[in-house]
Amino acid sequence: MSSTQEEFNTHSLSVELMNEVQQFLYREARLQDTEKFRDWLNMLTEDIHYWMPYRYQRYRKNEKEPTIYDQAYYNDKMEDLKKRILRTETGTCWSEDPATRAAHIVTNIEVELSSNPNEYQVYSLITVRRNMNEDEEHTMVGHRTDTLRRVGGELKLAKRKIILDQNIFMNKSLNVYL
Amino acid sequence: MATNNDFNNYIDTKKGWVDRRIFWDQEIYEQELKQIFAKSWQFVAHDSMLPNVNDFYTTYMGEDGVVVARQKDLSVKVFLNSCPHRGNKFCYADDGNTRSFTCNYHGWSFGIDGKLGALANEHVYDKGDIDKEKWGPRQARVDNYKGLIFATFDPEAPSLEEWLGDFRWYLDMMLDGDGSGTEFIGGGIKSYVNANWKFGVENFVGDAYHALWNHDSGLKAMNNGEGFGQAVTEGSYHASVNGHGWEFGTDGFADVIIMGRPKWTEYVQNVLKPQMKKRLGELRSTIYGSLASVSLFPNCSFLPGIQTFRVWLPRGPRKLELRTWTIVNKSMPDDIKQEINIGCMQTFNPAGVLEMDDGENWEGNTSVNKGYLTRQEKLHYGCGINRQIEHQELPGTIYAGQFNDANQRQFYQRWADLMNANNWDDVPTRYTPRYSGKPTV
Ligand code: FES
Ligand SMILES: [Fe+2]
């Protein structure tokens, strides 16, 4: 029920850029699905902020934006993401053996130019279908707002904010990145 | 007997086993709602979640939804979140600030004190149809221990002070280490685990054992690739007070280091521990921050040093809702609070590198019991069964060695005591109190 009219400024957006961003997000999804986490880290800037804040259900009059000082599923910098990835490489990560099967589905991609010619704001919807153990199937949906930055000609992810739809997270673990 | 079931038949603290059916049977679960969750004092919120008049938070006591609300005089009321007209929940928000709640169905409204106020289209009622004083939602007894708000719906239950008993001596390490009090970091994370609620509680009440194996990868991640090393039994203990339990070492820093934030470790060493030593003495300032975990009977847990604080809300015998927060001392500088927030969340929430490995096990512990034969088998709780000791300084029932099932055995003993009790006189005190009527600081 937003009262302000959004202004869309997409006419200067090239098909090439749109394509490049899409390919970036699909590649990221494939690296996640295939557990190539170190390769995925190479797609991030050194000053990455990977953030998925807590979710509460509130009356409209009480709604408020989460801050980075609130609790969060993820509130990670590069060194933190590296810790998570180290966990999966120790050889003693029992809950990941047998491996989780995950499909990262990226849709609803929108690219916006910003005042910085090297940065783009990208919106997308991430759906992860996770299958594990005998027959456990979980679906998680997140609304992503990313900042992509061109570094030495290459696109990198510099910021990601993920807003989860689920109020109570419906699964025992979040062992995939959204 | 509250039913013709003697629940002492489901546990044996002398031989060290527990019957698996208590993690599966619907009938036993219904009895838990009545005998445990309708009677026990339960943690419902932290003071800091409701700082202002008209602030509220909604949660559950057993499966009974409740509203926890800050009153005009700053006291707290806890009442059922169910409209006495046709029963609908009258508050669907997790938290917020409001002067009143209005039920969606026909528009009855309730004050922040839970009292029935105006009814929508009230003229359809004739004089004498309803006595508003009598038709508000049921109110709980509410009390507070150093910032933690507790409630019970049992008017006969002992006082909160008696319920916590000598466990206050231990709780003060978490709640009163520097005299400034505690607060929760903003927000909170809620998740479902398809496991019996007791598996979460018993893990925190005494299961140091699993950390070495199950959490090896997470510990390595948080500690520069180094695991825990050998289990140390010397100078480590299980302490139980009527089912509340604290298992701990005296290494001083293991849980602080697990959080993986060097600034936090430094703060504990240079600021917090010296303050605690003055306030609570040498022993307690050493225990705080050591490898440890804690549960309050029936369903609240925390980790001193890692600072996760949580409740395990029952959702049927085969499912629980986990609510987690991060607890800090009010006096800590903002940058330290943020270090704790980040380190705690990276280890303990459904995405945390330690938490991630727990739910998996508890779901397995629970779901196997669908097998008729499987659930006739007992579970082993015999570790350290002959290690009970007396300790000069430590109150409660003390066992030597934190790698032990002692606190779990005491937890299930308390469970059986309450499940069997017709009234509070039937409920034994299973330790020798040292601090009755006395402060623990
Ligand atoms: S059920 Fe609440 S007003 Fe009718
Ligand atoms: Fe654990």
Distance CA A116, CA B286 (A): 53
How many interchain CB pairs under 8 A, A with B? 137
Chain B touched by A167 (CB under 8 Å) = yes
Distance CA A173, CA A111 (A): 31
How close, in Å, is residue B312 to chain A by CA atoms? Answer: 13
Phi-psi sector, B224: left (phi>0), alpha (psi -120 to 50), beta: left
Instruction: Check A71 against B188: CB less than 8 A apart.
Output: yes
Ligand number nearest CA of B206 is 2
Q: Establish whether residue B291 lines the binding site of ligand 1, counting it when its CB lies within 6 angstroms of any ligand atom.
A: no
Ligand number nearest CA of B82 is 1
Report the residue count for chain B: 441
Distance CA B341, CA B433 (A): 36
Instruction: Check A172 against B188: CB less than 8 A apart.
Output: no
SS3 B22: helix
- Of B81, B82, B88, the one to substitute when testing ligand 1's pocket (max ligand atoms within 8 A of C-beta) is B88
Question: Among B309, B299, B293, which Cα is nearest to B341's?
Answer: B309
- Whether the CB-CB separation of A56 and B92 falls below 8 Å is answered with no
Q: Which residues in chain A are closer than 8 Å to B93, comparing Cβ atoms?
A: 57-59, 62
Whether the bond between B395 and the residue before it is cis, its omega within 30 degrees of 0, is no
pLDDT in 10s for each residue of chain B, 441 residues: 446 789 999 999 999 999 999 999 999 999 999 999 999 999 999 999 999 999 999 999 999 999 999 999 999 999 999 999 999 999 999 999 999 999 999 999 999 999 999 999 999 999 999 999 999 999 999 999 999 999 999 999 999 999 999 999 999 999 999 999 999 999 999 999 999 999 999 999 999 999 999 999 999 999 988 877 778 889 999 999 999 999 999 999 999 999 999 999 999 999 999 999 999 999 999 999 999 999 999 999 999 999 999 999 999 999 999 999 999 999 999 999 999 999 999 999 999 999 999 999 999 999 999 999 999 999 999 999 999 999 999 999 999 999 999 999 999 999 999 999 999 999 999 999 999 999 999
Q: In angstroms, what is the span from residue B59 Cα to ligand 2's centroid?
A: 24
Which A-chain residues 42-71 have CB contacts (< 8 A) with chain B?
A: 52-54, 56-59, 61-62, 66-67, 69-71
ipTM: 0.94
Of B324, B349, B360, the CB nearest to A95: B360
Instruction: Check A95 against B222: CB less than 8 A apart.
Output: no
Ligand number nearest CA of B86 is 1
Distance CA A148, CA A77 (A): 16
Q: Which residues in chain B are closer than 8 Å to A175, comparing Cβ atoms?
A: 351, 356
Q: Establish whether residue B88 lines the binding site of ligand 1, counting it when its CB lies within 6 angstroms of any ligand atom.
A: yes
